[in-house]
Structure 1
Amino acid sequence: MVSGLIDFLAGKEILLWGFGREGRSSYRFLRKHFPGKRLTIADAKIAPIQEELKADPLLSFLSQEAVPGRLTAFDLVLKSPGIPTASLGLPPDAAYRIAGQADLFLRFAPGRVAGVTGTKGKSTTSHLLRHLLAAAGADVRLGGNIGIPLWELIEELGPDSITVAELSSYQLENIRHGPHVALWLNLYEEHLNYHGTFAAYRSAKANLARALKPGGHLIYRADDPRLGQGLAEVALPPGVVRHPFDAEREFPFSLAGNAQLPGNHNRLNAMAAWMAAKLLLPGLDPATVQKALDTFLALPHRLEPVGIVGGIRYYNDSISTVPEATLAALEALPETDILIAGGMDRGVSYKGLTEALRRSRLRWLIVMPETGAILAAQLRAGECRFQIAAVGTLEEAVAVAKREGKAGSLCLLSPAASSYHQYKNFEERGEAFRRLVLQS
């Protein structure tokens, strides 16, 4: 049931801007439904794509540099999320032509959609929501920022289907159409190198609320002041119902039976998922919810137990790319006495983390470039009760942890920074940590 999307795409001159996972998905979809349509592909590395697709005679190619001057030649520009547009100086009459899979999915997908965003917690909450709905027997799909392009799902959906769409700020930047239920979990400083300013990042996130379907539902963290400021700038569509939540809200379920969901941040994630599930499936059985929470399997790199080596317990929290996430990890694992932190410097403040570390029970803080130097300097400027080791690589960090740890120690990798200067993504960093811990 994709006739609306196919009708929309028919007859349009289309540019696929970016040919990563989503761009390739768009190409496959278009070729399936429009085998005779001329298409244009633009990418930063266009030569290997030309070679790969040389058997398709209906393709044209553009270099990345040529795109801004050619946008108005196309009726529709399907932009991949990872391409930043804020700093490109695009012509004003080109902006309305730019869309992404997420926007068109939200416009044309059959059934109902729950959109999930937040600086942190969106993957766990999205998976939790899908797990709750599936446990109750719903026809549910999960896609979006988790690595499954939304157009890969659209042909599987019917009028009774529910899609849980995890949505990043990159995907939300050009959103004009929204879901039936929106979950906005939190808002911290993140991706400033992409958006340019925190205000622009906040505005991109706020598009999820701004574009909600009339009569839809907005679930949001009520005690997050930055999120509140973002919502204050949004004129919600007619009939949208607000559903605030915070740490004080009653949550009639226990997470004690699932050691994979530690900490207050996971309680809040579970609360948001439950609130959405109730809206999507009125009459949801509480016993079904509790059983689903008990059986949920946590995602890798999120307070993931790696193992016990030499009497030291190791946890992989590579997903923590902002200071607030590391604070949540330390709250969930208060017995941490060795912390490995540091990564790519994107200009966020570490003052709150520094103050919390001074109050912690750490024995060792092992810091890596680039932000590790910032943390170390701030800590050494005042009273610091633990030792600080500055290293150049994750390999060196794990070596220090193994040397300085003792039986009963807990070593936590929770970098409070992105990995992009040394690793492709947080998954690659987490896998490297796991490998280094377990190797003899």
Structure 2
Amino acid sequence: YELSSFQLWDLQKSPHVAVVLMIEPDHLNVHADFNDYLAAKANIAKFQTADDYVVYNSQNEFSSSIADTSLEQKKEYPFVLSDDITSAIRLPGKHNVDNACAAIAAVKSILPNVSDDEIKKGLSEFAGLPHRLKFVAEKYGVKYYDDSISTTPGSAIAALKAFAEPKILILGGSDKGADYFELAEEIARQNVRLIIINGVNADEIREVLREEKVDCEIVQLNMAGMKEVAKLAKNKAQSGDVVILSPAAASFDMFKSYSDRGEQFVAAVEEL
């Protein structure tokens, strides 16, 4: 199960195996500050004993800090995978390789004798979950990906890094108090041809892109539906491009949920 800070902040029992992925500031429109958010996240391991396990990201100081305060047995990731295991991963992006490391470490906590062949089989059969950088379709030589689960700048950065091809990035939604400057810096480094901004926080994102002197084409829409967004992306795209819906913002300005947002995007792309 995936647990959000809202599910964790009053938790008084931790799981036998806890996995702490990359942590970045989030939900700051609800939490008093980042420390309050981090304290809620820490409950996933706070009540573990020495018989339990925590898998944590050793390259993320906040994930590591949660592991450091716990009594449980610690397993860090990412780690180097053999080429044959890496080749079994069907999902794009280094972040998905890191996620596979976390999953392998968690499985080995429970099943220490699991074989590499069993791990490869599991990875090769896993095609990913909906709205998590999920391939939608290829239309006129352009590939479309649904990453509607992206509600933070960090997740949009990971999506950008997953592809070397020229990119069209769809950003924007409802505000959660996020800082978009690091995302703007990454956009400037990446091969991004067009940014489509939509949603309540479009003005905020546009201003950050201006301040960071992002020089690719930027089109700001006014609370447009997904059909309009997808049609604009199609009209601007060139063969070989990748179009990514990775909003870096919550969905509640125009949609019931991130899944509703993603489903509307998928439907719009399929109609192109």
Same fold (TM over 0.5): yes
- Give the 5 Å matches for 1:146-295: 165-231=1-67, 234=69, 236-237=70-71, 240-246=72-78, 249-252=79-82, 254-259=85-90, 261-295=91-125
Corresponding position of 2:254: 422
In the alignment, is the contact (CA less than 8 A) between 1:367 and 1:388 conserved in 2? yes
Give 1:381 shift: 2.8
Counterpart AA for 2:271 = Q
Distance 1:390 1:354 in 2: 15
- 2:242 is aligned with 1:410: yes
Query: What TM-score do you get using the length of structure 1 for normalisation?
Result: 0.58
Aligned residue number for residue 349 of structure 1: 179
What displacement does 1:354 show? Answer: 0.5
CA contact under 8 A between 1:358 and 1:379: conserved in structure 2? Answer: no
Please tell me whether residue 302 in structure 1 is matched to residue 132 in structure 2.
Answer: yes
- Give the match for residue 380 of structure 1: 210
TM-superposed CA distance for 1:170, in Å, is: 1.6
Distance (Å, rounded) in 2 between the aligned partners of 1:383 and 1:196: 31
SS in 1 for 2:74: strand
Query: Residue type matched to 1:241 in 2?
Result: Q
**Cα contact 1:336–1:412 (8 A) shared by 2:** no
Which residue identity does 1:255 align to in structure 2? T
Q: C-alpha separation between the residues in 2 aligned to 1:226 and 1:282?
A: 27
Please state how far the C-alpha of 1:427 moved relative to its aligned partner: 0.4
Count of aligned pairs: 269
TM-score (norm 2): 0.92
Deviation at 1:369, TM superposition (A): 2.2
How far residue 382 of structure 1 moved from its aligned partner, in angstroms, is: 4.4
Identify if the C-alpha distance between structure 1 residues 250 and 285 changes in structure 2 by more than 3 Å, giving closer, same or farther.
Answer: same
Aligned residues of 2:56 and 2:67 also touching (Cα < 8 A): no
C-alpha distance in structure 1 between counterparts of 2:166 and 2:56, whole Å? 30
Could you tell me which of 222, 230, 233 is aligned with 1:401? 233
| Whole-Å separation in 1 of the counterparts to 2:186 and 2:58 | 23
Alignment partner for residue 158 of structure 2, among 314, 328, 332?
A: 328
Deviations 1:10-59 (A, max 9, x none): xxxxxxxxxxxxxxxxxxxxxxxxxxxxxxxxxxxxxxxxxxxxxxxxxx
Q: In the alignment, which residue of structure 1 is the partner of 2:268?
A: 436
| Structure 1 consecutive aligned stretches of length 4 or more whose deviation exceeds 3 Å | 228-232
CA offsets, 1:415-436, max 9 Å, x none? 0111011111110000000111
1:190-244 CA distance string (max 9 Å, x none):
1223333221111111011111134211110011123334455x3x24xx21212
Question: CA 1:382–1:251 in 2, change beyond 3 Å: closer, same or farther?
Answer: closer
Aligned-partner SS, 2:29: helix
- Structure with more contact order per residue of length (Cα contacts < 8 Å, sep ≥ 6): 2
The question of whether the paired residues in 2 share the 8 Å contact of 1:183 and 1:220 is answered with yes
CA contact (8 A) 2:45 2:66 kept: no
Q: Which has the larger radius of gyration?
A: 1
Return closer, same or farther for 1:334/1:370 CA change in 2, 3 Å cut-off: farther
What is the CA deviation profile of residues 118-157 of structure 1, one whole-angstrom value per residue up to 9, with x for unaligned ones? xxxxxxxxxxxxxxxxxxxxxxxxxxxxxxxxxxxxxxxx
Matches within 5 A, 1:102-113: none
Conserved in 2, the CA contact under 8 Å of 1:367 and 1:397?
no
